[in-house]
Amino acid sequence: MKYFRRSVALVILVFCAACTNPLSSHRSVTLPITDLVVPESASASVPFTVRLTVLSGGCKSFERLVATRRAGELSLEARGRDSSGPNVSCTDDIRKDPQTYEAAPPFSNPFTVSAVQPDGSSVTRTVRVQ
């Protein structure tokens, strides 16, 4: 029984190790958001749509938007993968991936929407809340 438990533990360990490759050159990155569009005004209790454009291409691909909500503020970050590295050929294509995010109420006036950039800076838009 003792060897059976060790064998099962070893099999589970091997499967878990296969889930992520520590030698992989893929790394998670923040992608540029080149356009951020919010409504000029919104109701305090009605959702509104944020439209943005994420820049990708070459060895960088878009994966998801990460939203962080604080009082009076919504911060959006475009996360992706960068597979560049030694012996890797990347294409020269540049893609503009349109994305939307549905901002849920409640909102306070003014409400700020920020797009986090790869260098840590932010592009900010303000929505007047009525």
Q: Which helix (H) or strand (E) holds 80?
A: strand 73-82
Would 125 be classed as within a structural domain?
Answer: yes
Is 9 among the domain residues? no
Task: Look up the domain containing 78 and give its range.
Answer: 24-129
Q: CA nearest 29: which of 121, 117, 122?
A: 117
7, part of any domain: no
Structure tokens of 70? Answer: 């604080």
pTM of the model: 0.76
Which positions ≥6 away from 69 have C-beta within 8 Å?
75
Rounded distance between C-alpha atoms, residue 67 and residue 82, angstroms = 20
The reply to whether 66 falls in a domain is: yes
Amino acid at 53: T
Using alpha carbons, select from 28, 23, 25, 27 the residue that is nearest to residue 86: 25
Tens of each residue's pLDDT in the chain, 130 residues? 665 566 555 445 444 443 444 444 578 999 999 999 999 999 999 999 999 999 999 899 999 999 999 989 999 999 999 988 787 788 888 999 999 999 999 999 999 999 999 999 999 999 999 9
**Would 34 be classed as within a structural domain?**
yes
Q: Give how many domains the chain has, as a whole number.
A: 1
Q: Report yes or no on 14 lying in a domain.
A: no
